[in-house]
Chain A
Amino acid sequence: MLQAIWDNIKGLYSLLVGMSITGRYLLSPVETIHYPRQVVADEIMASFRGPIQLTKGKKDPAQTRCISCQMCVKACPGHCLSVTKGDTKAPAQWLYDFSYCCLCGACVETCPTGALEFSHKVYLVTLTREELILDLLADLQKRAAILPESQPVPTANLAPPTVPDVESIGEPK
């Protein structure tokens, strides 16, 4: 009996602890970012695993490291990749159907040459499914043109929609 009473007093105290936590949260500033009035800082986006993309070549950033070995095509559980071999080892066409991708990362893991990586695109929006079939070679060319080799880590290259007074908030953790 005494034990039960003591347990209940402790239980009441734990309720107070819970209320103090929510009370503190109530008074602390909100964490949510009001998209599209604000966007997340690129540094935070670096940990986001978006649709896959081809990594830049070591010598020529516009040149893919892919050797058309088809390992990723076999590994992909969603059958969303199709790599067509060209005259040389380098692929002639590299298509990626993002609508089937589950972002499992099996392709990234299997690639023997490290030609694949996750991008940090959060703003990928399309109106039709067909637009989700991405031509990764063209994407690579585009990124290589935007960012010279000297510049470090690529971040989201699909620019957020332009809205007046966009401010970027959030500190890198």
Chain B
Amino acid sequence: MDLSLAIFVQIIAAVLLIIALMVGNAVVMVYMERKVAGFIQRRPGPYEVGPWGTLQAVCDSMKLLAKQLYRPGNVDLILYYLAPITAFFPVLLLFLAIPFGPWLTPLPVNDGIVLILAFAGLGVLSNLLAGWASNNKYSLLGAARAVSQTVAYEIPMILALLAVVLQSGSMDLKRITDQQGQWPWEWNIVLQPLAFFIYLVSLVGETNRAPFDLPEAESELTAGFHTEYSGMGFALFFLSEYANMLLVSFVAAVFFLGGYKGPFADGFWWLFLKAYAVMFFMVWIRWTFPRVRFDQLLNINWKWLLPLGLINLWLTAIIVKIAL
């Protein structure tokens, strides 16, 4: 691989843009989350700071920046400070493989989805480190839950994505996008509705969001694995959580919803529109369903999603074999 200056500059620029995207996304998502929560509960949500409360999230992040970093006694120093960083950086890397537009892939890789799935697994490592290092029973419980949940939900997620990979014969996100058409009925969601459904459920489990937010269940574990983090430590977890949501939404958009392709004009706007539609869906279910119990959570996964994913994969394999 010739690492010429051009590629180097391209990667640096992409990383900077992605950091901006992650921060901007967190601000937008906090605002959207609170507004949607408000409207679903028939109250206005934030509305005092700025027009329609739009500056509320900015104020909150300023507050987080200014907060003292408080560290409880008896923590494992190295791991305690390492955990937020390990939460943040893998996500950064993952965005590199997403094809944002016909000519807009930060780092074109052949096996983009392998990269994404491999590094997505690192996210749970940060949860584990944070929970272990905090020297707090709630953190530890949250971390234990995070690990078993993420490990469990990764499997149906991969199975669902594999079905699409089998069907399109490529692991390259760009090629998968290119095989889908501009109009909604030409997207993979029509051919793989079951895989999309499985992916949608396991995406909520994978990002630790309600109703599967057991690792940070407020009513049971105060805040789960990030209980003992304040200020920027917490902010980094927060950022990477929203970035993770954005990432799985991007993957959903690329794999099932035609990626950057859309009616009239292809471009990154379609990708963002689709990803934010998926995010809106996640916010919507968060404010609709109560949190599941842990055994229910694992039952949904092992008893339903996994067999369904396997059946779907087999069927896809057979059909692809016959059709070719």
A26 touches B44 (CB 8 A): no
Report B-chain residues with C-beta under 8 Å of the C-beta of A28: 42
State the CA gap A15–B197 with chains docked (Å).
14
Q: A34 an interface residue at 8 Å Cβ cutoff?
A: yes
* Residues of A close to B284: CB separation below 8 A: 19, 22-23, 26
| A8-B304, A34-B47 known; A25+B42 contact, CB < 8 A | yes
Contact B42 A32 (CB under 8 A): yes
* A19 contacts across to B, CB distance below 8 A: 284-285, 288
- Known contacts A22-B284, A22-B287, A26-B284; A32 and B44 CB within 8 A of each other: yes
Say yes or no: A25 contacts B289, CB within 8 Å: no
Q: How far is the CA of A153 from the CA of B289 in the complex (A)?
A: 44
Interface of A: prevailing SS: helix
Chain A residue numbers with a CB within 8 Å of B38 are: 30
Chain A, residue nearest B303 (CB): A4
Residues of B within 8 A of A23 (CB): 284
A18 on interface, CB distance cutoff 8 Å: yes
- Report the minimal beta-carbon distance from B51 to chain A, rounded to whole angstroms: 15
Which of B39, B47, B288, B289 has the most C-beta atoms of chain A within 10 angstroms of its own C-beta?
B288
| Interface status of B36 (Cβ within 8 A of chain A) | yes
Number of B interface residues at 8 Å Cβ cutoff, please give it. 15
**Set of chain A residues within 8 Å of B36, measured between Cβ atoms:** 26
| A31, CB-defined interface residue at 8 Å | yes
CB of B222 closer than 8 Å to a CB of A: no
B41 at the interface (CB under 8 A from A): yes
* Chain A contacts for B11, CB-based, 8 A: none
**Alpha-carbon distance A8/B39, docked complex (angstroms):** 30
Check if B40 is an interface residue, CB within 8 A of chain A: yes
Are the C-beta atoms of B288 and A18 separated by less than 8 Å? yes
CB-CB contacts below 8 Å: B181-205 with A: none
CB contacts under 8 Å to A, within B292-309, are: 304
User: Is B43 part of the binding interface, using a Cβ–Cβ cutoff of 8 Å?
Assistant: yes
Within 8 A of A (CB), among B3-43: 36, 38-43
Q: List B123-162 residues whose CB lies under 8 Å from chain A.
A: none
Chain A residues with Cβ under 8 A from B40's Cβ? 22, 25-26
Q: Are the C-beta atoms of B42 and A30 separated by less than 8 Å?
A: yes
Closest CB in chain B relative to A6 CB, distance in Å: 13
Min CB distance B302 to A, Å, is: 14
Chain A residues near B41 (CB-CB < 8 A): 25
**Smallest distance from the beta carbon of A1 to chain B beta carbons, Å?**
11
Q: Tell me whether B44 and A25 are in contact (CB under 8 A).
A: no
Are the C-beta atoms of A15 and B289 separated by less than 8 Å?
yes
Which residue of chain B has the shortest Cβ distance to A29 in the bound complex?
B42
- Closest residue on chain B to residue A32 by CB atoms: B43
Q: A8-B304, A25-B39 given as contacts; is B44 within 8 A of A34 (CB)?
A: yes
A26 CB to nearest chain B CB (Å): 5
Decide if B289 touches A18 in the complex (CB within 8 Å).
yes
Task: Tell me the nearest residue of chain A to B300, going by C-beta.
Answer: A8
Identify the closest chain B residue to A19 (Cβ).
B288
Q: Chain B residues with Cβ under 8 A from A29's Cβ?
A: 42
Chain B residues with Cβ under 8 A from A30's Cβ? 38-39, 42-44
What is the CA–CA distance of A173 and B114 in the complex, to the nearest angstrom?
A: 59
The 9 closest A-B pairs by CB, nearest first: A32-B43, A22-B288, A31-B42, A22-B40, A26-B39, A30-B44, A26-B40, A18-B288, A19-B288
A-B contact pairs, 7 of them (CB 8 A): A15-B288, A18-B288, A22-B288, A28-B42, A30-B38, A31-B42, A32-B43
List A residues at the B interface (Cβ < 8 Å).
Answer: 8, 15, 18-19, 21-23, 25-32, 34
